[in-house]
Structure 1
Amino acid sequence: NLQRLSLSNNKLHGFIINELCQLKGLSELYLAKNMFSGAIPGCLRNTSLRKLNFSSNKLISHIPSSFWDLKDILLLDISSNALSGMILPEVSNLRAIILLNLSRNQISGSIPATMGSLQTLQTLSLAHNKLQGPIPETFSGMISMESMDLSHNYLSGVIPKSLESLLYLNYINLSYNLLHGEIPDGGPFWNFTAQSFMMNKDLCGKSQLQVQPCRRGNKHISNKVMLLIKCLLPIMFVILVVSSIIFLKHKRDDDNYSTKKDLTDLDTPTRISYYELLQGTNGFDESNLLGSGSFGSVYKVILPNENIVAVKVFNNLDTEEALRSFDIECAAVRNLRHRNLIKTISSCSNNHFRSLIMEFMANGSLNKWLYSHNYYLNVLQRLNIMIDVATALEYLHHGSPILVVHCDVKPSNILLDADMVAHLSDFGIAKLFGEKQSKIYTKSLATIGYMAPEYGSKGVVSTKGDVYSYGILLMEMFTRKKPTDEIFVQGLNLKDWVSKSTPHSIINIIDANLLHRKNQNTDNILSHISSVFDLALKCCNDLPEVRLTMIDVVVSLKNIKALLMENAQDIVS
């Protein structure tokens, strides 16, 4: 019944044994940074693998053709080995793949065009191999692509202009190849630097890319054409002057309410003016107020096309903290994309106004569903919401392009869409980490009751602080008691209250709404919620290094849910 096996960062050697293939329920296998040699077992196709990491070993031979039969795999990393052979066209079978890393091997041949059908792929690295031939035009079909590294190969031909359609692409490295021709300049390419294209055969493009300008073929121009040009030039000059005057006047009129660069591309218009925000909120009337925080207020906006969005308006712009909060949130949403994170559409701002336009969450905040008498969440709904939040934090800590610590995980920052899917929001005090940072120090205060001890006393921010906050939230979710509830006096707090009641007295602390339902087995519910509280307490250990990671939390919660679903009739009423 083993589902996850991690033996990474040891000194294990010898062959990877075929007996691993007998673990039919195995979904995650991590053997990275050891000294394994020999070939990769071909029988792994018989497992239920979703994540596999054999990177940084001494594996040789070809990539087993059976690898391309792992249709449900999400993460496949076999980088930094000595694997040879070719990437087969059957790579298109990896229909769910999110990360594919084959870098630093001896893989040769061409990149199969079928790879372009991997629509879920977000991170691709084929760097430091012996790949030849062109970059397939079909790569434009990888619509979720965010990071692509094809450097240090022998790729030739031109860079496909079709790659301009990859809207989420924020990193590309094509350096040290044999590419030639014009570097595309549309779509995401406007933001790439010279480092992405250096040391190629004969690339040309914009001067800031440190390549030669592209030559436009010299054509013979007849005398009649020259005469026509001379006649048209004065007319064109007049038109240009008039157009410039009109443009400058229009710019001056709208300067105070300009809309900045789009952050993403949705069905709703991404250019939303201040006047549309003003009109769609009835002058930011309180009747459209969805919630307020330390640095801003969120309003419901009905646009002229009747689409509904939410706008977060930042207050107190004369303070450094408010401006920093806006900048941090912009930086975060520009780099992050995940099903369980709030999606930001665009920003509307100037020197006196700052706002972010976000997708509208039809079911409001988790805080409303927990503490309003007209709303009710059953056990399964609560568990699904907490899995969604844990998955979002797992992405921020372990799967996003940059490591992000949210710093303010609490019910009011968790929003629910029309399908009751949870989305983590409000990155106003989030911290973005550099490549080698594991913790930083801050003077920003998070919400009392949810802060980890090391955050409140020393200002230490790390992923373990989010894990602590998540543990508090998990307890709150099933007790319906805020960590600042009036019952917590004289040194008693939510964590101690739950700890003293687990596992034998949890009926005294569980939300009564979960027990006063007809046709349900109370003992069954209590046993599963006891497991939830055990998990929450492991997240809230006073020592950061002892706390779980969000990867562990997601696995544990999904296991609890699987057991719970075996008696689904007891919990969905």
Structure 2
Amino acid sequence: MLLSSLPIPYLIGNLKNLINLALDGNNLTGLIPNRVNKLHSLQHLSLSNNRLQGSIINDLCQLESLSELNLANNMFTGAVPECLGKTSLHQLNLSFNQLGSHLPPSFWSLKNILVLDISSNTLSGIISPEVSNLRAIILLNLSRNQISGSIPTTMATLITLQKLSLAHNKLQGPIPESLSGMISIELIDFSHNHLSGAIPKSLESLLYLKSIDLSYNLLDGEIPNGDPFQNFTAQSFMMNKDLCGKSQLQVRPCRRGNKHISNKVMLAIKCSVPIMVVILVFIGIVFLKHNRDDANYPTNRDLTNLDAPTRISYYDLLQGTNGFDEGNLLGSGSFGSVYKAILPNEKIVAVKVFNIDMEEAFRSFDVECAAMCNLRHRNLIKIISSCSNDDFKSLIMEFMSNGSLDRWLYSHNYCLDILQRLNIMVDLAAALEYLHHGTLTPIVHCDIKPSNVLLDEDMVAHLSDFGIAKLLSEGLLETHTKTLAIVGYMAPEYGSKGVISFKGDVYSYGIVLMEMFTRKKPTDEMFVEGLGLKDWVSKSTPHSIINILDVNLLHQGNPNISNILPHISSIFNLALSCCTESPEARIMMTDVVVSLKKIRSYLRKILETCH
């Protein structure tokens, strides 16, 4: 609805429970009312494409729950508030305004920021070396400002960055060689600056780079021709008069060699040759000695462990698993198998060996490494190390002595009681809450099911198998995939369109929660002709839940079953809230954790009274 030149109502501050406020594309004028600081529950505020004026008020910084702020395409003036750099924002868009002055130093401390777009303003100053603090950043757009100085070499540490635009500024100096460290980068735009020197050949290692624009600078030397530069056109390099390379790039050809080498150069070459020979001989001796020392470790190691790197060789794993014998096999999946192993220090671990004949397995190995290397949570499986070369890839994980939830739930030898089941589901909810909201780069697991929930010796649940997990990119709340999870646990939008979002994990969690207390898989043969686990639970709640409750819980002879059933009904209602057809209507994992803990508290009191 298009409003007619109206200001934002002052009384908007009365909507204290408001979570999402989007007034984009209207004709709003005037200032942002300072009573907006009363919206303590507000998580998303979007006022883009209006005619709002004045300065960006500091009152916005008081919104502690705010994760997304979009004020793009307005008429805001003055400086960017320094306090915004001290918030926990995930997305900030201030583009296409009239903001001036320097970027506040605090902005380089936005450790949770995913998307930062302050393009098309009149900001000056430099890009601080502390830009390396933006460890979660996916999109950084500072284009069309008055930013000067050089591109800091520390930008290379932004390994999650996918899109970087510094175009139309006053940047000088060379393009740092170190930018090859931005391993996830897909787009680079440094056009319309005053950059000089050669284009670093190291940028050829950026395997995901799809677009680069270095036009209208002062660059010289040869244009790199390795991947991904083979796919770039002349538009990427135009108006750099001293560049050379292939004719199709519309630059002069590079000279190969020089027939007129000076006497001084020849003398330098003659003097340096003996020195180089001595150095090469020394390196050869060291190399041979190193090979002798490593005779028992013929496999290259690629170890991943941030706490205390543990050197584990292929030989150690071979010995520890008895040659990957079937007697030590813990389980198999689409991308490989998991074995029990005993390391030389007598520590028992689980070794996930990936099937090197499958391209998807290689991708799964990379995803698990990327997803797990920075995660620390008591309810996530811990990766101790990895062992990798061209012919072998494996992850070494902590061993879970009680196996999977699937094994316990469908065993005939033992039965989980009500509190044990609730504890496990609280653990799983806490793990998902951490992945969705507690990490620098939010992660969608995509494969929530009982076989991926492992139990340690204290029956504490640990979520495992991140082989098809997705790191949300470009600040979006969803992405797409062609890799599908197990039928029955998939959200409708995941199965039909490949749409990945937090809410897909929430749906899968709801299905597992129902399965936990009915002991019925969503693929059980009883579910035919359009009837599914969700429909079965929905039709039985709240008046007939005793008919769908796992009979093992009823056989435990609890005399207060009538007092327990209302709380079991609350659990099923919570599960149904997770499994609504519309993703937007599904509950958040933060709310699931709170609700389940309350139910657990009530049930404990009832069960303690029974005993």
Q: Same fold (TM over 0.5)?
A: yes
> What's the counterpart of residue 39 of structure 2?
23
> What's the counterpart of residue 497 of structure 1?
536
> What's the counterpart of residue 89 of structure 1?
105
In structure 1, C-alpha distance between the alignment counterparts of 2:311 and 2:212, rounded to whole Å: 30
The reply on whether 1:463 has 2:504 as its aligned counterpart is: no
Tell me if the contact between 1:281 and 1:300 (Cα under 8 Å) persists in the aligned partners. yes
In structure 2, C-alpha distance between the alignment counterparts of 1:519 and 1:219, rounded to whole Å: 99
CA drift of 1:313 comes to 2.7
> What's the counterpart of residue 529 of structure 1?
571
> What's the counterpart of residue 327 of structure 1?
362
1:174-205 per-residue CA deviation (whole Å, 9 max, x = no partner) reads 62343445777889976586955734444779
CA gap of 1:179–1:431, structure 2 versus 1, over 3 A, is: same
CA gap of 1:194–1:477, structure 2 versus 1, over 3 A, is: closer
The reply on whether 1:284 has 2:300 as its aligned counterpart is: no
Aligned partner of residue 108 in structure 1, secondary structure: coil
Tell me if the contact between 1:300 and 1:309 (Cα under 8 Å) persists in the aligned partners. yes
Equivalent position amino acid for 2:498 in 1: V
Aligned equivalent of 2:353, options 310, 313, 334: 313
Tell me if the contact between 1:174 and 1:197 (Cα under 8 Å) persists in the aligned partners. yes
CA drift of 1:221 comes to 7.5
Equivalent position amino acid for 2:467 in 1: F
CA drift of 1:282 comes to 1.9
1:308-355 per-residue CA deviation (whole Å, 9 max, x = no partner) reads 65432345x7xxxx614313414534654663776775463556xx53
CA drift of 1:49 comes to 2.5
The reply on whether 1:383 has 2:416 as its aligned counterpart is: no
CA drift of 1:499 comes to 0.5
In structure 1, C-alpha distance between the alignment counterparts of 2:89 and 2:585, rounded to whole Å: 19
> What's the counterpart of residue 2 of structure 1?
17
> What's the counterpart of residue 37 of structure 1?
52
- Select between 229-238 and 46-55 the one with higher mean Cα deviation: 229-238
Tell me if the contact between 2:515 and 2:522 (Cα under 8 Å) persists in the aligned partners. yes
In structure 2, C-alpha distance between the alignment counterparts of 1:478 and 1:187, rounded to whole Å: 54
In structure 1, C-alpha distance between the alignment counterparts of 2:133 and 2:461, rounded to whole Å: 25
CA drift of 1:535 comes to 1.0
The reply on whether 1:47 has 2:63 as its aligned counterpart is: yes
> What's the counterpart of residue 554 of structure 1?
589
Aligned partner of residue 514 in structure 2, secondary structure: helix
> What's the counterpart of residue 447 of structure 1?
486
CA gap of 1:29–1:452, structure 2 versus 1, over 3 A, is: closer
CA drift of 1:157 comes to 3.9
Aligned partner of residue 78 in structure 2, secondary structure: coil
> What's the counterpart of residue 412 of structure 1?
451
Q: Percent identity?
A: 31
The reply on whether 1:359 has 2:397 as its aligned counterpart is: yes
> What's the counterpart of residue 251 of structure 2?
none
Equivalent position amino acid for 2:393 in 1: S
In structure 2, C-alpha distance between the alignment counterparts of 1:149 and 1:571, rounded to whole Å: 57
1:218-239 per-residue CA deviation (whole Å, 9 max, x = no partner) reads 996896x876656567777888
CA gap of 1:422–1:240, structure 2 versus 1, over 3 A, is: closer
Superposed counterparts of 1:240-279, under 5 Å: 259=300, 266-267=306-307, 273-279=313-319
- Select between 507-516 and 489-498 the one with higher mean Cα deviation: 507-516
Equivalent position amino acid for 1:30 in 2: L
CA gap of 1:172–1:484, structure 2 versus 1, over 3 A, is: closer
Aligned equivalent of 1:427, options 442, 447, 467: 467
Equivalent position amino acid for 2:362 in 1: D
Tell me if the contact between 1:311 and 1:355 (Cα under 8 Å) persists in the aligned partners. no
Aligned partner of residue 377 in structure 1, secondary structure: helix
Tell me if the contact between 1:273 and 1:348 (Cα under 8 Å) persists in the aligned partners. no
In structure 2, C-alpha distance between the alignment counterparts of 1:415 and 1:122, rounded to whole Å: 32
In structure 1, C-alpha distance between the alignment counterparts of 2:134 and 2:287, rounded to whole Å: 43
1:332-385 per-residue CA deviation (whole Å, 9 max, x = no partner) reads 34654663776775463556xx53324336465443564563766353551341
In structure 2, C-alpha distance between the alignment counterparts of 1:180 and 1:570, rounded to whole Å: 72
Aligned partner of residue 355 in structure 1, secondary structure: strand
Tell me if the contact between 1:45 and 1:66 (Cα under 8 Å) persists in the aligned partners. no
In structure 1, C-alpha distance between the alignment counterparts of 2:22 and 2:369, rounded to whole Å: 35
RMSD (Å) for aligned C-alpha atoms: 5.5
> What's the counterpart of residue 188 of structure 2?
173
CA drift of 1:82 comes to 1.0
- Select between 327-336 and 84-93 the one with higher mean Cα deviation: 327-336
> What's the counterpart of residue 127 of structure 1?
142
Equivalent position amino acid for 2:521 in 1: K
In structure 1, C-alpha distance between the alignment counterparts of 2:457 and 2:22, rounded to whole Å: 41
CA gap of 1:174–1:509, structure 2 versus 1, over 3 A, is: same
Equivalent position amino acid for 1:462 in 2: V
Equivalent position amino acid for 1:474 in 2: L
CA gap of 1:324–1:495, structure 2 versus 1, over 3 A, is: same
Aligned partner of residue 557 in structure 1, secondary structure: helix
> What's the counterpart of residue 60 of structure 1?
76
In structure 1, C-alpha distance between the alignment counterparts of 2:526 and 2:311, rounded to whole Å: 48
Give the number of the structure whose alpha-carbon radius of gyration is greater: 2
In structure 2, C-alpha distance between the alignment counterparts of 1:410 and 1:132, rounded to whole Å: 52
Tell me if the contact between 1:42 and 1:64 (Cα under 8 Å) persists in the aligned partners. no
CA drift of 1:146 comes to 4.2
In structure 1, C-alpha distance between the alignment counterparts of 2:332 and 2:48, rounded to whole Å: 47
CA gap of 1:462–1:60, structure 2 versus 1, over 3 A, is: same
> What's the counterpart of residue 299 of structure 1?
339
CA drift of 1:455 comes to 7.7
In structure 1, C-alpha distance between the alignment counterparts of 2:91 and 2:422, rounded to whole Å: 34
1:6-32 per-residue CA deviation (whole Å, 9 max, x = no partner) reads 427664633544333212233x12316
1:397-417 per-residue CA deviation (whole Å, 9 max, x = no partner) reads x956xxx883x4312124468
Tell me if the contact between 1:7 and 1:32 (Cα under 8 Å) persists in the aligned partners. yes
Aligned equivalent of 2:29, options 7, 11, 14: 14
Tell me if the contact between 1:183 and 1:203 (Cα under 8 Å) persists in the aligned partners. yes
Aligned partner of residue 348 in structure 1, secondary structure: strand
Tell me if the contact between 1:366 and 1:414 (Cα under 8 Å) persists in the aligned partners. yes
Tell me if the contact between 1:476 and 1:482 (Cα under 8 Å) persists in the aligned partners. yes
Aligned partner of residue 311 in structure 1, secondary structure: strand
1:17-69 per-residue CA deviation (whole Å, 9 max, x = no partner) reads 4333212233x123165536224332122222340231544252235526336
Could you tell me which runs of 5 or more consecutive residues in structure 1 were left unpaired when the two chains were aligned.
none
Tell me if the contact between 2:429 and 2:589 (Cα under 8 Å) persists in the aligned partners. no
CA gap of 1:490–1:30, structure 2 versus 1, over 3 A, is: same
CA gap of 1:286–1:50, structure 2 versus 1, over 3 A, is: farther
Aligned equivalent of 2:118, options 103, 122, 134: 103
> What's the counterpart of residue 170 of structure 2?
154
Normalised by the length of structure 2, the TM-score is 0.67
CA gap of 1:314–1:241, structure 2 versus 1, over 3 A, is: closer
Tell me if the contact between 1:369 and 1:377 (Cα under 8 Å) persists in the aligned partners. no
CA drift of 1:106 comes to 0.9
In structure 2, C-alpha distance between the alignment counterparts of 1:106 and 1:515, rounded to whole Å: 70
Aligned partner of residue 579 in structure 2, secondary structure: helix
Aligned partner of residue 463 in structure 1, secondary structure: strand
CA gap of 1:409–1:33, structure 2 versus 1, over 3 A, is: farther
